Structure 1
């Protein structure tokens, strides 16, 4: 069984001048020569992405797709027709978004958040911009402190609505953001809190002291790169701390407090100093 619109490990069935045929249980799927690994031979197993070419034939590639079936991602429109739009998903053939699956019409050069699916009529991979009904928090597959994949979906009054693991929605609150955020950004985060009616709050990086464990190494590295002294302390402006360290003042104070407790630094009148090993 070959999963269309996804990665598959397939064995080389036979070789031809223009590429390799990979075993799909039938006549084989072509992996064009330009995408075939050098020296590949019959029996070798190759990880490939499988989709339909312009003539509706299954074809394999070693190119990396920007998204696969089931994923939600931001993709750019490269052309628009009366029937729909074509988005760049990193492969030779662009992915199609039917007019009926668009929210308010797409334009060439625009970036759109879509979900990839298999069209029931054609069996091809297609995309839809109508994803609201495909997301649900009714039955959660995550719990507090889980590491999750986050996609920034839209801005709200309290923060950014994010899509969690292509399934649920949550909120990244403004007071938890310490970096530039753009719609369509994808990054790892953690479930901070699950509230009434399965509302979800998320954070970028680990909450509380688990986050500090990762930040201590950064502060120590910056100290070493600055001859053991940095002119920042708990009286420094939060914006200055974020600009230099990439963390909130609260996290900075927690981090330096831990380093002080571990006898890695001392607090000077105007900053922090590294204790010699």
Structure 2
């Protein structure tokens, strides 16, 4: 069976002046063949040869084959550029002569011409290939990644309550929680993120920050809290011994100095004789 939207290996059934007609190896005479245009037919092709092709519809909505693999196939997600925007939808460059149609109802944000967005490929009710920005159902939760792995992804949805949803490798479901979403981001932004947790259902929690940065932030919070417990003053500084720091804060001297440097830079504390004071 010839399948729309997929890469298939089909057999050459007939050779004509306009190209070759293909079908599955076990096809019957009643089964309709599909045309691979002459300009795409490999030199020396004979009846019975097998050719890997992608099946889609041409400008006249006829089923046709191409030896080119598009930037996205059925059931997958790809990063596609907007080449035109109309009142009924947008058109995307997916690597074939005919651009991919993205219906208005399948858009999740205002599009910009020339910008790339994560797009899934599906077959609509009229048996046509279309794009969608609603890609959550295209993503799986069986990634090979573990905690502290760095991965690349694209933001496909932003929720004011939860954060930014990310398609990792265009395959796996991930979330940058709101508290980790530092800066301004938009749908279509590519991000390098660190896996902070693999949930029981396999979905990934992500962070834009490395572990070292977060540790400094957490240590700085510990120093501030301890100082506030003591009336806003903590008698520790760069000259305190590692033993004193460990006893008071349960952290190493190097960790203390890094966190203290952060607090000083942010002007949250200041030096006093023998220690620091919360501003």
**TM norm structure 1:** 0.57
For 1:11-50, list aligned pairs within 5 A: 11-24=11-24, 25=27, 26-50=31-55
Q: Given the alignment, which residue of 200, 208, 231 partners 2:204?
A: 200
Provide the C-alpha distance between the structure 1 equivalents of 2:32 and 2:11, rounded to a whole number of angstroms: 13
Provide the C-alpha distance between the structure 2 equivalents of 1:196 and 1:23, rounded to a whole number of angstroms: 44
Provide the C-alpha distance between the structure 1 equivalents of 2:191 and 2:3, rounded to a whole number of angstroms: 24
**TM norm structure 2:** 0.57
Provide the C-alpha distance between the structure 2 equivalents of 1:148 and 1:19, rounded to a whole number of angstroms: 47
Q: Secondary structure at the match of 1:100?
A: helix
**Alignment pair present for 1:74 and 2:79:** yes
Number of residue pairs aligned between Structure 1 and Structure 2: 193
Query: Deviation per CA, 1:171-201, whole angstroms, max 9, x where unpaired?
Result: 589x9xxxxxx956599x9977413665425
Provide the C-alpha distance between the structure 1 equivalents of 2:144 and 2:68, rounded to a whole number of angstroms: 34
For 1:191-230, list aligned pairs within 5 A: 193-195=197-199, 198-201=202-205
Structure 2, unpaired ranges of 5+:
181-186, 208-279
**Alignment pair present for 1:51 and 2:56:** yes
Provide the C-alpha distance between the structure 2 equivalents of 1:155 and 1:86, rounded to a whole number of angstroms: 20
Query: Deviation per CA, 1:140-191, whole angstroms, max 9, x where unpaired?
Result: 434655999953226989x985324655422589x9xxxxxx956599x997
Instruction: Tell me what 2:92 maps to.
Output: 87
Query: Deviation per CA, 1:38-71, whole angstroms, max 9, x where unpaired?
Result: 1111000000011011112110001120111111
For 1:135-214, list aligned pairs within 5 A: 140-142=141-143, 151-153=153-155, 161-164=165-168, 166=170, 168-170=172-174, 183=188, 185=190, 193-195=197-199, 198-201=202-205
Residues 1:46 and 1:149: Cα distance change in structure 2 (over 3 Å): farther
CA contact (8 A) 2:156 2:167 kept: no
Residues 1:109 and 1:153: Cα distance change in structure 2 (over 3 Å): same
Q: Secondary structure at the match of 2:60?
A: coil
Structure 1, unpaired ranges of 5+:
176-181, 204-277
CA contact (8 A) 2:146 2:198 kept: no
Provide the C-alpha distance between the structure 1 equivalents of 2:20 and 2:151, rounded to a whole number of angstroms: 35
Residues 1:46 and 1:105: Cα distance change in structure 2 (over 3 Å): same
Q: Secondary structure at the match of 2:39?
A: helix
Provide the C-alpha distance between the structure 2 equivalents of 1:44 and 1:191, rounded to a whole number of angstroms: 47
Q: Which runs of 4+ in 1 moved over 6 A?
A: 146-149, 189-192
Q: Secondary structure at the match of 1:34?
A: helix
